[in-house]
Every structure is written in C-alpha cells, then in structure tokens.
C-alpha cells in the first residue's frame, strides 16, 4: 500500500517537476522576447535606451583631405573611449551614397545617426524617414539647408562664416604692407580656390571673406574657382589661373589646406615663391600647412578643427539619456599668421 502510495506520489511528482520547468522556460522566453522587442522598436532606440551601449551610425562624406581623415579618426577614437559601437560608412564624395547609408542605419535601428553632409540641399526625405523611425540625428561639421529644422536633433561643427571673416581680417592687415609697393591706381589682385560647390563651408567661407573684402576698393577678386577641397584639383586650378593671369596674382585665398598644397606645388614649379611673390591664405590648420607657415611659404592659416569626436559622443549620450543638450555647438577656433609667435604651437594631430 505504502509502495503503491509512494509509487503514486512519485508518479504524481514527476509531471509536477516538468511542469514547473516548462513554466519557467516559457517565462524565460517571454521575458527575453519582450526585452528584445523593446530594443528593436524604433521609437525606443532613441531617448530612454541604455546609454552605456550606444550603437551609432556615422555617414562620413569622404576622405578628400587630411582634415577629413583626422575627423574620421577622431570619431573612431572617441567612440572607443566611450564604449560605443560606431558603424562608419564612407560616402566617397557622393550624396546618394550618404543617403543610402542613412537609410541602412534606419533599417538597422541604430541609437543615433551622425552625418557630415557633403552639400546643403537634398536631405529632407531621408531625414523625415529617420524622424519617423524615432532615431535622433546629429549633423556634424557641415550644415544643411532645410525648412523644417526639427528634422535634425542637433548640430556640432565649426563656424565656417567666421573662418572666412578671419581670412579677410588677416588680409586687411597685410594690405597695408602690400600697398607700400603699389602704384596709385593699382589694386591687390586675389584668386580664390573654393571648396565643393553647394557645401556649407564653401558657401560660408566665400561669404565671410567677401563681406569684408568686397567693400574695400583696394581689392579685386580676379576669379573664384572650385577645387572641390582636393589637392589634385587645387593643382589643376592653379595651373589654369597662372596661365590666365601670369603676372597679376598677388593673393591666393584657398578654402582648404589640401588645395593650397596642390597650388603651392604648381607655383614652385613655375619659379614663383609662395608666401613672398604671392600671399597665401589657407583654411584648416593641418600639420603640413602649419609647417609651411612656419617656413614662410604660407602667410596665414585659419584654423578649422576636425577633432569633434569627443563632443559628438557626449552629445549622443546626452540626447539618448534625455538630458539637456545644446542644439548647436561650435568648438573654439583660432587663426595663425606670419605676425604671430608660432614657436609654442604644438603638433596638430591631423
């Protein structure tokens, strides 16, 4: 009887244990299923998700200059230090590649999208898609031209208009010196190598410079040509300009160091002494340009820092954590000229 009871009990106990295990298993599945679903819901990948494990999709516009390479490196380094996963897509200088990259980040449901827009126009649709997916977008380095500014969350980058102003301010000072060697009706002839057509640094560096220079009749801008921020095109453009204006160019204003370096190569091949025969003003501040400034082969380097990585990661974290953050932030920048003491200027890092 006892045996039967024991048997009965054991018969009864076996399914009981399996039932508990089964229930526990189902509970585990439900819990893990729920938490995965939470992570995968686009609306939840933005504010409120775990800031310690951010996945950031970064659409870089290309690798056209030392500035750009320094910028990509700064982003990668900062992401590593913050413990974030950074997915980098190189747009190779094409807007359509950048749009495709942003779409892939939306499909992947990253926590934050960062992009450096190659040009100002044409982003509304893809940004609308990111907004609908609930993914915050940080615009870095360059600005865009858009009616609905709610389509991006924040902007972080240099003040390119101010850079144009800084270039002009240096030239206004230099002009007093140049005037001494000029006859009465002579003017200071400038050629300008501008950046990528339709890009915000090209537009703003042009504007900032012209707002000061055009109202001063000591100056005449002979021509502005786009060298697309590339060293090779800077070379090409300078060759053409020297052919067209063999003895007239007094000043070169170049929107980035890469084009400046290409232009200087051509001048030296033609027996022209850069920094003396032609005054050189460049923007960026990469190591090679600062070295030439110290040697007297460039007269002025307007700083534009690509080291934005840390600030971008902090911003991404603040946005996702729901903390207050500045909608627009700009790093401090300087301007190095032949009139400054450059002996304490440290390595540039790009």
Evaluate the CA torsion angle 62, 64, 68, 69 in order and state its sign: positive
Query: Which of 46, 117 has the CB closer to ligand GYE?
Result: 117
Which segment (60-68, 94-102, 238-246, 274-282) binds ligand GYE by CB under 6 A? 60-68
CB 219 within 8 A of CB 191: no
Q: With CB under 6 A as the contact rule, which of the stretches 40-48, 64-72, 173-181, 183-191 interacts with ligand GYE?
A: 64-72
Looking at beta carbons only, is 161 or 219 nearer to ligand GYE? 161
CB of residue 214 vs ligand GYE: minimum separation in angstroms? 22
Count Cα neighbours of 92 within 13 Å in the Cβ-side half-sphere: 4
The C-alpha atoms of residue 97 and residue 74 are separated, in whole angstroms, by 22
Q: How many residues line the site for ligand GYE (CB under 6 A)?
A: 13
**In this complex, which beta carbon is closest to ligand GYE, that of residue 234 or of residue 275?**
234
Angle, CA of 244, 230 and 226, to the nearest 5°: 45
228 near ligand GYE, rule: CB under 6 A? no
Phi, psi of 253 (to 5 degrees): -110, 115
Q: Is 65 in the site for ligand GYE (CB under 6 A)?
A: yes
Buried b (16+ CB within 10 A) or exposed e, 200-216: bbbbbbbebbbebbeee
304 binds ligand GYE (CB under 6 A): yes
Figure out which of the listed residues 84, 136, 141, 292 binds ligand GYE, where binding follows CB under 6 A.
Answer: 141
- Name which of 65 and 98 has its Cβ closer to ligand GYE: 65
231 binds ligand GYE (CB under 6 A): no
Sheet holding 219-226, edge to edge: 219-226, 188-194, 251-254, 279-284, 300-303, 335-337
Tell me whether residue 55 or residue 293 sits nearer to ligand GYE (CB atom): 293
Q: Which residues contribute to the site for ligand GYE (CB under 6 A)?
A: 64-65, 67-68, 141-142, 201, 229, 256, 258, 283-284, 304
């Amino acid at each position: 009887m006892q045996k039967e009871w024991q048997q009965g009990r054991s018969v009864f106990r076996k399914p009981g244990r399996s039932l508990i295990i089964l229930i526990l298993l189902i509970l585990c599945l439900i819990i893990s299923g729920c938490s995965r679903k939470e992570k995968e819901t686009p609306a939840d990948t933005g504010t409120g998700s775990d800031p310690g494990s951010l996945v950031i999709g970064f659409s870089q516009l290309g690798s056209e200059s030392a500035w750009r390479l320094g910028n990509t490196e700064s982003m990668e380094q900062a992401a590593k230090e913050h413990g974030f996963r950074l997915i980098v897509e190189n747009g190779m200088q094409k807007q359509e590649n950048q749009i495709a990259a942003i779409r892939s980040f939306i499909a992947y449901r990253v926590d934050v999208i960062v992009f450096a827009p190659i040009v100002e126009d044409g982003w509304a649709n893809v940004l609308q898609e990111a907004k609908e997916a609930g993914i915050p977008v940080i615009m870095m380095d360059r600005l865009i031209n858009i009616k609905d500014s709610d389509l991006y969350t924040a902007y972080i980058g240099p003040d390119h208009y101010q850079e144009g102003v800084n270039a002009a301010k240096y030239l206004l000072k230099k002009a007093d010196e140049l005037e001494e060697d000029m006859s009465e009706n002579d003017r200071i002839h400038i050629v300008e190598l501008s950046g990528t057509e339709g890009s915000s640094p090209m537009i703003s560096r042009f504007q900032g410079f012209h707002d000061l220079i055009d109202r001063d009749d000591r100056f005449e801008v002979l021509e502005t040509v786009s060298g697309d921020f590339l060293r090779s095109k800077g070379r090409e453009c300078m060759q053409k300009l020297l052919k067209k204006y063999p003895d007239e160019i007094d000043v070169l204003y170049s929107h980035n160091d890469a084009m400046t370096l290409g232009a200087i190569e051509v001048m030296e091949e033609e027996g022209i002494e850069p920094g003396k025969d032609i005054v050189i003003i460049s923007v960026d501040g990469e190591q090679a340009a600062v070295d030439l400034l110290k040697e007297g082969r460039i007269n002025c380097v307007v700083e534009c820092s690509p080291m934005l990585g840390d600030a971008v990661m902090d911003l991404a974290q603040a946005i996702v954590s729901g903390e207050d953050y500045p909608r627009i932030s700009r790093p401090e920048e300087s301007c190095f000229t032949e009139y400054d003491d450059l002996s304490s200027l440290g390595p540039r890092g790009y």
